[in-house]
Chains A and B, each alone.
Chain A
Amino acid sequence: MKTDTDKPEESPGWFDRPENVRKVLVGLFAGCALLVLVDLVFWMTGFDKHPYLRWEKWPGFYAVYGFVACVLLVLVSKHVLRPLVMRGEDYYESEREGGDDDA
């Protein structure tokens, strides 16, 4: 466990090295590729995944759904929701200045 702070001779953290970040990314890409591959093998061999719905049998359904869902989630949040609801950080505080708050 770390005991003290502000050590000037601090070495760069593990994630500060670009080659380490690249390792993580390569791992992620490899994992994604492997899972699609496994799903394809299941589909071709007719392995029973105990699906409830017919889409679950489609190879790569979960992969595509997860990816598309997240892209949609981010884009809708950024381009639809944020323009609608974002206000200044002191939106609720500013009302109080001339108000009747007792705090």
Chain B
Amino acid sequence: MPEGLPPAAIYLFGALVVPFLEGRARQVFALCVPLAGFANYFLISEGVHWTFQLLDFELVLGRADRWSLIFLNIFTVLSFIGILYVVRDNRPLDLSAGLLYAGSAMGVVMAGDLITLFLFWEMLTLGAVMCILARKTPEAGRAAYRYFLVHVLGGVVLLAGLLIHLAGGGGVAFDKIELAGPGAWLMFLGFGINCAWPVVGAWLTDTYPEASIGGVVFMATYTTKTAVYVLARCFPGEAELIWIGVAMATIPIFFAVIENDLRRVLAYSLINQVGFMVVGVGLGNPLSLNGTAAHAYCHILYKALLFMSIGSVLYRTGKSKATELGGLYRCMPWTCVFCCIGAASISAFPFFSGFVSKSMIMSSAAAGGYTVVWLALLFASAGVFHHAGIKIPFFAFFSHDSGIRCKEAPVNQLLAMGITAFLCIFVGTFPNAFLYGMLPNVEASYQPYTVGHVTDQYALLLFSALAFTLLMRAGLYPAEVRSANLDTDWLYRRGGPAFYGAMDRGLNTANAVAHRLFVGRFIGWLAHLARSLPARLAVLVMTPFWKASGIVGDALDARKEAFYEEVRLGAIPIGATAAFAVVLLGVLFVF
């Protein structure tokens, strides 16, 4: 087969087979799936592959171009790293979830039409929910439930937008869509929910820290980056995205500074970094879009590395909170080194991966005259070094000695981190080796290593470190406190139950009132009426006859009462009933 197979098919097959295998066979098989995926990647040539006819629509499972292939490349690399990271415990849920998740994400980036996109988009949610459930704690169960509800909502919004778009004659083409009309806006918002935009993105920092240590590596890679990919494909150059991206890059870093759970700090910095990519999409010029693709590539590597290093700490110590950790460089030196490499990469130190990708977006903003955007991103760059680059390694591995003396991370985890760390440095030092060659827009060239850029970046970062040091020594740095910090997830975590309670009280009270009025009173009255009305009518009809036959006074009243009772109880003599029947038939006959 010259064109290979749809990557999603390989991974979904793997995800289905894993639970049926046992022991070493399962581990070997799970590791072979990403390897097969990698081999398959090299078989896929640019072009449109694997098309199917469904009703009137042509579904395209493989649109291979420079955009989709760079994402497929990094998704494949990361799938191997993620599986290697979790393979030791050999739990089918971990392995299956990772493969399903990876396959779905590859399905999205390879999709050539909106229907295929939507199908794989929904499968992503399934993979993520499994990754959270794999933690196997009650909190994880609840987090998975919240994740599922939010993403079902996002999926419904996207589906509504898609249907309106199709009904309006928009067609199923998965290409640039003009942001006009309700269909396009709903799709825009549906993508944005997965992209963790402000207000609608709190699910990320809410649920990622509850996921399993391996699951979160997949989660940090696939959901938000597929969202960036579809935004870059459908809505490049939409000015709204610039400001959404700026908000994403800046607001979460304030939360990260006061957050105690280090995995949640990483989740905040994830949104911060995706913010840069969204700005790149919003700027929409060849260089900024290249920057988005490159930054997604680099970000996936260093964010996975950071989540893996803190995951290994959690694996060995059972803790991930700054208040409970510290001084682990003694017993987990390799993990510490890998964490520092991830920290240097996310902070965009020269010769680490973030440096060669983030700067494309910033240069593009500056060149385009977006001064405020550029200043905000520079602030976010200093801030990310401050809260992720320094805070994460410092509170986990240095700071005060927590007294914890644990083992170093297992070999498979060290290997996964080592490969990722190597790639972070390699890509950062030699961006032209393969990263720049894969970028979507070949016409936009970029040179990150100029003397001015390197010294300026060092100045920004070292003075951020200086600020951290001085604030720390002056006792001005906010102490780590065990706490929960409110975010917009409050809307559904507290607001949701409150809404439920309000509905419960409001609607059920209305229901009770209605029950009392209708069932308790009205029905009884109606039943009473049904029994007494014919009797009353009969008495009314008969009274003239009795009067005519000379019954008056008390005798008339007694007769009325007796007759009323007879009719009400249905105890009318047969003769009278027959007479009524004859009258009725006569009436019917006449009319």
Interface residues of A (CB under 8 A from B): 1-7, 10, 13-16, 25, 28-29, 31-32, 35-36, 38-39, 42, 47-53, 56, 60-67, 69-71, 73-78, 81-82, 84-92, 95, 99-101, 103
0 or 1 for each of B464-507: is its CB under 8 Å from A? (1 = yes) = 11111101000011100111111100000110010010000000
A-side interface mostly: helix
B141 at the interface (CB under 8 A from A): yes
In contact, A66 and B459 (Cβ under 8 angstroms) = yes
Q: What residues of A have a CB within 8 angstroms of the CB of B485 in the complex?
A: 81-82, 85-87
In contact, B367 and A99 (Cβ under 8 angstroms) = no
Q: What residues of B have a CB within 8 angstroms of the CB of A74 in the complex?
A: 257, 386, 467-468, 471, 476-478
Q: What residues of B have a CB within 8 angstroms of the CB of A6 in the complex?
A: 405
With contacts A13-B330, A15-B329, A85-B487 known, what are 12 further pairs, Cβ within 8 A? A2-B333, A4-B407, A16-B401, A49-B453, A52-B366, A61-B456, A63-B459, A63-B463, A65-B379, A65-B382, A76-B254, A81-B255
Q: What is the distance, in angstroms, from A8's C-beta to the closest C-beta of chain B?
A: 10
**A-B CB contact pairs (8 Å), 12 listed:** A3-B407, A6-B405, A28-B465, A38-B455, A49-B451, A49-B453, A52-B366, A65-B378, A66-B461, A78-B257, A87-B483, A92-B493
In contact, A77 and B258 (Cβ under 8 angstroms) = yes
Complex-state Cα separation, A49 to B467, whole angstroms: 25
Q: Look across to chain A and name the residue whose beta carbon is closest to the beta carbon of B328.
A: A13
In contact, A5 and B383 (Cβ under 8 angstroms) = no
Instruction: Select which of A3, A5, A49 is within 8 A of B406 by beta carbon.
Output: A5
Q: What is the distance, in angstroms, from B139's C-beta to the closest C-beta of chain A?
A: 8
Most B CB within 10 A of own CB, among A69, A71, A75: A69
Q: What residues of B have a CB within 8 angstroms of the CB of A1 in the complex?
A: 334, 408, 414
B458 at the interface (CB under 8 A from A): yes
B24 at the interface (CB under 8 A from A): no
Most B CB within 10 A of own CB, among A31, A66, A76, A82: A66
In contact, B407 and A70 (Cβ under 8 angstroms) = no
In contact, B450 and A67 (Cβ under 8 angstroms) = no
B244 at the interface (CB under 8 A from A): no
In contact, B464 and A50 (Cβ under 8 angstroms) = no
B48 at the interface (CB under 8 A from A): no
Q: What residues of A have a CB within 8 angstroms of the CB of B482 in the complex?
A: 89
Complex-state Cα separation, A8 to B405, whole angstroms: 10
B120 at the interface (CB under 8 A from A): no
In contact, B493 and A69 (Cβ under 8 angstroms) = no
Q: Look across to chain A and name the residue whose beta carbon is closest to the beta carbon of B363.
A: A52
Q: What is the distance, in angstroms, from A30's C-beta to the closest C-beta of chain B?
A: 10
Q: What residues of A have a CB within 8 angstroms of the CB of B408 in the complex?
A: 1-2
On whether A35 and B327 interact (CB within 8 A), knowing A6-B405, A52-B363, the answer reads no
On whether A56 and B456 interact (CB within 8 A), knowing A50-B450, A73-B253, A87-B484, the answer reads yes
Complex-state Cα separation, A101 to B466, whole angstroms: 47
Mark out the residues of chain B between 401 and 459 whose CB falls within 8 Å of any chain A CB in the assembled complex.
401, 405-408, 414, 450-453, 455-459
In contact, B331 and A85 (Cβ under 8 angstroms) = no
Most A CB within 10 A of own CB, among B330, B363, B481: B330
Q: What residues of B have a CB within 8 angstroms of the CB of A65 in the complex?
A: 378-379, 382, 460
On whether A53 and B371 interact (CB within 8 A), knowing A36-B459, A77-B254, the answer reads yes
Q: What is the distance, in angstroms, from A95's C-beta to the closest C-beta of chain B?
A: 6
In contact, A88 and B254 (Cβ under 8 angstroms) = no
On whether A69 and B466 interact (CB within 8 A), knowing A52-B363, A74-B477, A82-B258, the answer reads no
In contact, B398 and A15 (Cβ under 8 angstroms) = yes
Complex-state Cα separation, A74 to B494, whole angstroms: 28
On whether A77 and B464 interact (CB within 8 A), knowing A70-B383, A88-B484, the answer reads no
B142 at the interface (CB under 8 A from A): yes
Most A CB within 10 A of own CB, among B253, B460, B482, B486: B460
B462 at the interface (CB under 8 A from A): yes
Q: Look across to chain A and name the residue whose beta carbon is closest to the beta carbon of B367.
A: A52
In contact, B254 and A89 (Cβ under 8 angstroms) = no
Q: What is the distance, in angstroms, from B514's C-beta to the closest C-beta of chain A?
A: 23
Most A CB within 10 A of own CB, among B254, B398, B487: B254
Q: What residues of A have a CB within 8 angstroms of the CB of B257 in the complex?
A: 73-74, 77-78
B374 at the interface (CB under 8 A from A): yes
Q: What residues of B have a CB within 8 angstroms of the CB of A35 in the complex?
A: 455, 458-459, 462-463
